[in-house]
Amino acid sequence: MDVTFGGGGHSKEILKNLREGRLIAFDQDESAMENKVDDSRFLLLRQNFRFLKNNLRLHNALPVDGILADLGVSSHQFDEPERGFSTRFDASLDMRMDKHLHLKARDVINQYEEDQLRRIFLEYGELENSARLARTICTRRKTKPIETGNDLKEVAKEFIRWGKENQYYAQLFQALRIEVNKELDALKEMLMQTIEILKPGGRLVVISYHSLEDRMVKNFMRSGKMEGDADKDFYGNSLSPFKLITRKPIVPDENEIKNNNRARSAKLRIAEKL
């Protein structure tokens, strides 16, 4: 399983090394369908990975040997100005990974209550001045809607420490993207399904890009739960459904970051189903 197909890079490498069996990939973004790999062993489904189990059952593909999830926003999504993901462009605040979703980032900014905005900025963006930012947004939007990336950056710039502009805007846009696409809810649902989907000895591989995702993945691989320690048997032995293959995350080295700057925050974790 490649549950985040995107540009197809991971899937192509898997197929090169796939001696038998088949590869099923998921992506909720219709533009990813343009990258479909022409291989009889390959099936690409336009679905959110939160619907993993039902789709695998439909295609008679249970259980599976391996699941790969690369949680980053695809490069083509970042590089298309009209999608609104990147802070580089003055585009409409959209940020939908699935264009059939109704909620857009500009709806969040212009319609959510102040306390909702504060929670999103604090929990999903980890912005220390989330309350002041939320209050200012609610005041500014009364006179003029905040429609584009530059509109939002103009409102937020007074809260940024000098030299931290790029980091602040990245965290702010991240918070909105997570809310629009309900990313953490979908990740939680997908991870919980892997316990049933994977064969004993099957591998779960997840690449995350920010602390919220990585914290969830790390805890799940250690305990089989989103929060707390693994359950224990009568003798105190862990009942986690996984064995950790990576005690610490694998991170890119200097050469990889030089060749692909977007990999700089990536953390790869691997667990094996018991």
What contacts 169, CB < 8 A, 6 or more positions away?
Answer: 87, 153, 156, 160
Residue written as tokens 């905040």?
Answer: 146
User: Given this model, what pLDDT does residue 81 score?
Assistant: 81
pLDDT digits (tens, 9 = 90+) for 62-90: 999 999 999 988 777 777 888 988 898 99
pLDDT band at 59 (very low <50, low <70, confident <90, very high): very high
Q: How big is the CA angle at 53 (ends 195 and 8), to the nearest 5 degrees?
A: 100
Task: Give the lowest-confidence range in 25-29, 192-196, 237-241.
Answer: 237-241
CA-CA distance, 274 to 272, in Å (whole number)?
6
Kindly report the number of other CB atoms within 10 A of residue 14's CB atom. 18
Q: Are residues 51 and 193 in contact, defined by beta-carbon separation less than 8 angstroms?
A: no
CA-CA distance, 150 to 91, in Å (whole number)?
8
User: Given this model, what pLDDT does residue 79 score?
Assistant: 77
- Tell me the average pLDDT across 176-192: 97
Decide if pLDDT at 212 tops 90.
yes
pLDDT digits (tens, 9 = 90+) for 157-172: 999 999 999 999 999 9
Does the structural domain 93-181 have CATH classification 2.30.30.50?
no
User: Given this model, what pLDDT does residue 233 score?
Assistant: 84
3-state secondary structure of 98: coil
CA-CA distance, 78 to 121, in Å (whole number)?
21
User: Given this model, what pLDDT does residue 167 score?
Assistant: 94
Whether the model clears a pTM of 0.75, i.e. scores above it, the answer is: yes
* Domain 9-75+183-273 homologous superfamily, CATH: Vaccinia Virus protein VP39 (3.40.50.150)
Residue written as tokens 């890079």?
Answer: 9
Decide if pLDDT at 237 tops 90.
no
Residue ranges per domain, the chain? 9-75+183-273, 93-181
CA-CA distance, 214 to 71, in Å (whole number)?
10
Q: What percent of the chain has pLDDT over 70?
A: 100
Q: Which residue has the higher pLDDT, 55 or 263?
A: 55
Q: Residue 64's closest CA among 193, 226, 249, 214?
A: 193
Q: Residue 150's closest CA among 200, 190, 109?
A: 109
Decide if pLDDT at 184 tops 90.
yes
Q: What percent of the chain has pLDDT over 90?
A: 85
Cis peptide before 241 (omega within 30 of 0): no
Decide if pLDDT at 93 tops 90.
yes
Decide if pLDDT at 196 tops 80.
yes
DSSP assignment of 25-89? EE-S-GGGGGG----TTEEEE-S-GGGHHHHHHHTT--SEEEEEEE-SPPHHHHH-GGG---TTS
Q: Are residues 69 and 49 in contact, defined by beta-carbon separation less than 8 angstroms?
A: yes
Decide if pLDDT at 213 tops 80.
yes
Distances in whole angstroms, Cα of residue 251 to Cα of each of 68, 86, 208, 254? 16, 23, 10, 10
Q: Which two tokens stand for residue 217?
A: 């993945």
